[in-house]
A and B are shown apart, each in its own frame.
Chain A
Amino acid sequence: MKKIKALFFNLLFLALPALALAAGPGDKDVPDMATRMVRVEGLGAINYFFATWYNSNKFVFAILVTVVMGVVGALIALMTDVILKAIGMEVSKIEHHE
């Protein structure tokens, strides 16, 4: 009996998200600038690089943004870590006190 009850509740809860999603896909109020072009004349090398990809292929631009964010974040973290270690502010596993 206990197993049947557990099975019933499992099936019921599994169905809940499907019911919640039944109305169709959601939509966010995001300004769509997919066809927008930016000016590239007179830009420096880095800005020119980003602006050119922005104009030519938004998908590659998006990948570029994601990769750059990850790499820059990791590099700065590495540098800050070295500096913090040098001043004695390094971290290791901590005890969890409430």
Chain B
Amino acid sequence: MLDFFNVYLPIAERDFNALILVAIGFSVGVLGGFFGVGGAWVVTPALNIFGFPMAYAIGTDLAHIFGKSIVATAKHRKMGNVDFKLGIWSIIGSVIGVEAGAQSVMLLTRLGLAGPVVRYTYMILLFGLGIYMIYDYATKEQRAAAAAAKAAARAAGTAPPRKAWNLPPMMHFPTSGITISFWTVMGVFFFTGYLSGFLGVGGGFIRMPALIYLIGCPTAIAVGTDLFSVLFAGAYGCLTYGIKGAVDIVAAIYMLVGASVGAQLGVTAVKYVRGYGIRLLFAIMIILAGLSVALKQFNYSVAAAWVVMCAALGMCVVIIIRLYIGFKKEQAEKLGLGH
């Protein structure tokens, strides 16, 4: 019955269901807009499940990520969530890091260790980051109380000020409201870029928590700024894979249609969810992604793809429900004020 939606992909030279492409694009668009990630880690296995030719999967995915990031970044900018200065530094640091990461993979490949080392690092990173973010969420009240007590002690002159890493030159980022050493900024983005190059991923899911925990950005600004960086990575990926002939432009357009609508909804949902809420949902998502990588490592490739796809769909539903509840609440408040 769904054959009705089949379209011919001129570059991949085969028919494929347009509805599936739009649906995958939509789900990843919602996640991308809400978490500030590209979402290649969801798209590639999802396309794989439905039999999309894998030779074109990565290029097609990157092409649609570029288009979607324009949509999401523009909307985040409207909401004051993009720190352009920080975003440009993140691109500079990441480019150097990505290349260094790729060098490490080449070295490991020569030693015959690349596959397992990369996968185990990926798993440790996803699980570690996810568990840390959940721990951070669970202990936020205690930490807030401890910070307030420390501040009070400092005000009373009984505690020394906190020692900060402040090697000059110092940089000020007014949008994020932070002043930080240039070396911290470059170090963090070099590190996230390195991991991105080492693992062969876009890196949005590494950069977003790094912006929060290592740079000190508010969560919504971390999401918007990360998307700004993803935009450039997507543009470069789109162009370079296009030159290699590995992009099916028609499939990418169908995915982009879904992703652009999804991204708008995902970004709007950020307005209704507090920073810690975004962090918690992100933590759950990357733990499930880690589970998917673990299944793949133990040769359960189909189960791995289903886990990541179901996790993405489930999270997408949660985000849309939060958006709906927030919107309804806002409408009710507006009506209440009107009367």
Residue numbers of A with Cβ under 8 A of B are 6, 9-10, 13, 16-17, 20-21, 23-34, 36, 38-39, 43, 46-48, 50-51, 54, 58-59, 61-66, 68-70, 72-74, 76-77, 80-81, 84, 88-89, 91-94, 96-98
B167 within 8 A of A: yes
Whether the pair A96, B275 counts as a contact (CB closer than 8 A) is yes
User: Which of chain B's residues 51-110 have a Cβ closer than 8 Å to chain A?
Assistant: 55, 58-59, 63-64, 66-71, 74-75, 78-81, 96, 98-100, 102-103, 105-107
| Total residue contacts A-B, CB cutoff 8 A | 195
Which residues of A lie under 8 Å from residue B267 when comparing CB positions? Answer: 91
The listed residue (B59, B103, B331) touching A24 by CB distance below 8 A is: B103
Q: Could you tell me the distance in whole angstroms from the C-beta of B158 to the nearest C-beta in chain A? A: 27
B19 within 8 A of A: no
| Binary A-proximity of B263-283 (CB < 8 A = 1, otherwise 0) | 110011011001110000000
Residue numbers of B with Cβ under 8 A of A are 8, 10-11, 13, 55, 58-59, 63-64, 66-71, 74-75, 78-81, 96, 98-100, 102-103, 105-107, 167-169, 183, 186-187, 190, 194, 197, 200, 218-221, 235, 238-247, 249-250, 252-253, 256-257, 260-261, 263-264, 267-268, 270-271, 274-276, 327, 331
A26, B253: Cα distance in complex, Å: 30
Given contacts A27-B106, A30-B244, 18 further A-B contacts (CB under 8 A): A20-B194, A21-B100, A26-B99, A27-B102, A34-B243, A34-B244, A54-B245, A58-B243, A61-B249, A62-B243, A66-B239, A69-B253, A76-B256, A77-B75, A80-B264, A84-B268, A91-B268, A98-B276
